[in-house]
């Protein structure tokens, strides 16, 4: 959900933009304009190129990447590796497509393995997964809305396993620099960031974004408590040196720590609002989501489109789970499978 206004500069204008010595930010288009673009970072490594994130598989993105690299006198065939921060379509799927064409190696965090198993499964059904999640939130109107939409098959062919699973604190030796993999579960279970300590840089993926707070729990396997993990992964950032932030959406910023502080504050405020809603009598995630304000315009849940209502309800459940985990609320599972939350009194 949006918390800070978008600055007047258009970070999403086609690149490349030099962001550090031998590193270029190349924004690639997305089919929906909500996020505007996804940044791919091209790292020059001798004659090779290593790319952080790959983009969404669509012709316009492939063309933008080819053109961006062309302006740097490079081409797609020089890309030897995609190091991908997480298994969301806008970061991963163009890498799979370009691997088919050029044999490029694709690497992804090991924590994404169960997600990839789902996404590569032809029988995976997104609507059923969303329905199950909304049942837990007791969001009957949203389930009704989902089933009123025409069915869209999950496009499993866009998904394949990576060549390499990256593990926490793994060191990747390039010829010109060293990158350290740091696991940052939260936005997705297997999200990783890439740290270049010598040059004081962090490729922060969607873990730390400059303009928005990353969505939480928007993945097929969200059995864990994603916001508990996310807040831990935010705190982890402050244990690293303060680095320059190279995010997947938005412009480069000087300090990861400064933005982490803002994100932590946002979630604490949200947790207080969530607790107050339960004390006022809302018990399910959907009931709480309906009394909370959404987006920086403070809209009601009902005024959002269906997809955003589902996202907001999922996020509310994540906040409720943090409060239950902290012992500020009780959580019970009802016979219909719904989680209900109550104040301690």
Query: Minimum distance between the CB of residue 137 and Zn ion, rounded to whole angstroms?
Result: 23
Contact 15, 68 (CB under 8 A): yes
List residues bridging with 47 in a β-sheet. Answer: none
Q: Does 219 bind Zn ion (CB under 5 A)?
A: no
Q: Nearest to residue 160, comparing CAs of 76, 219, 100, 102?
A: 100
| Site pattern 283..302 for Zn ion (x: CB under 5 A) | --------------------
The tokens of 60 are what? 């316009």
Q: Nearest to residue 186, comparing CAs of 213, 225, 212, 220?
A: 225
Query: Minimum distance between the CB of residue 205 and Zn ion, rounded to whole angstroms?
Result: 7
Rounded Cα distance, 339 and 138, in Å: 8
User: DSSP string covering 194-244, please?
Assistant: EEETTTTEEEEETTS-SSBPPPSS-SS---S-HHHHHHHHHHHHTTSPP-E
Instruction: Tell me if the bond preceding 262 is cis, omega within 30° of 0.
Output: no
Q: Does 44 bind Zn ion (CB under 5 A)?
A: no
Q: Does 251 bind Zn ion (CB under 5 A)?
A: no
Residue with tokens 């320059």: 244
Based on CB atoms, which residue is closest to Zn ion, 90 or 219?
90
Q: Does 112 bind Zn ion (CB under 5 A)?
A: no
Residues 74-93 interacting with Zn ion (rule: CB under 5 A): 90
Based on CB atoms, which residue is closest to Zn ion, 55 or 68?
55
Query: Minimum distance between the CB of residue 3 and Zn ion, rounded to whole angstroms?
Result: 16
Based on CB atoms, which residue is closest to Zn ion, 292 or 318?
318
What is the distance, to the nearest Å, from the Cα of residue 200 to the centroid of all Cα atoms in its chain?
Answer: 23
Residues 179-218 interacting with Zn ion (rule: CB under 5 A): 206
Based on CB atoms, which residue is closest to Zn ion, 135 or 253?
253
Query: Minimum distance between the CB of residue 279 and Zn ion, rounded to whole angstroms?
Result: 34
Q: Does 53 bind Zn ion (CB under 5 A)?
A: no
If binding means CB under 5 A, how many residues of this protein chain bind Zn ion?
2
Contacts with Zn ion by CB under 5 A lie at: 90, 206
């Amino acid at each position: 959900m949006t918390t800070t206004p978008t600055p007047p500069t258009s970070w999403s204008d086609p690149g490349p933009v030099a962001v550090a010595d031998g590193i270029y930010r190349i924004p690639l288009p997305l089919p929906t304009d909500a996020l505007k673009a996804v940044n791919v970072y091209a790292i020059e490594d001798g004659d090779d190129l290593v790319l952080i994130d790959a983009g969404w598989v669509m012709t316009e993105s492939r063309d933008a990447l080819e053109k961006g690299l062309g302006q740097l006198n490079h081409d797609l065939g020089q890309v030897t590796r995609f190091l991908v921060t997480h298994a969301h379509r806008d970061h991963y799927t163009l890498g799979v497509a370009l691997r088919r064409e050029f044999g490029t190696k694709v690497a992804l965090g090991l924590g994404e393995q169960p997600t990839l198993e789902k996404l590569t499964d032809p029988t995976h059904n997104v609507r059923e997964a969303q329905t199950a999640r909304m049942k837990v939130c007791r969001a009957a109107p949203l389930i009704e809305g989902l089933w009123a939409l025409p069915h869209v098959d999950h496009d499993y062919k866009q998904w394949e396993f990576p060549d390499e699973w990256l593990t926490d604190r793994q060191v990747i030796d390039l010829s010109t620099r060293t990158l350290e993999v740091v696991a940052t579960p939260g936005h997705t279970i297997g999200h990783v960031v890439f740290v270049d300590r010598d040059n004081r840089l962090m490729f922060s993926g969607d873990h730390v974004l400059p303009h928005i707070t990353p969505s939480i729990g928007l993945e097929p396997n969200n059995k864990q408590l994603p916001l508990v993990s996310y807040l831990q992964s935010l705190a982890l950032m402050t244990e690293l040196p303060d680095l320059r932030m190279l995010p997947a959406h938005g412009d480069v910023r000087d300090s990861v720590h400064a933005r982490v502080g803002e994100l932590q504050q946002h979630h604490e405020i949200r947790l207080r609002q969530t607790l107050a809603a339960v004390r006022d009598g809302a018990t399910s995630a959907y009931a709480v989501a309906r009394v909370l304000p959404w987006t920086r315009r403070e809209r009601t849940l009902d005024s959002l489109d269906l997809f955003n209502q589902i996202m907001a309800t999922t996020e509310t459940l994540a906040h409720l789970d943090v409060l239950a985990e902290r012992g500020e609320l009780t959580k019970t599972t009802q016979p219909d499978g719904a989680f209900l939350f109550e104040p301690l009194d």
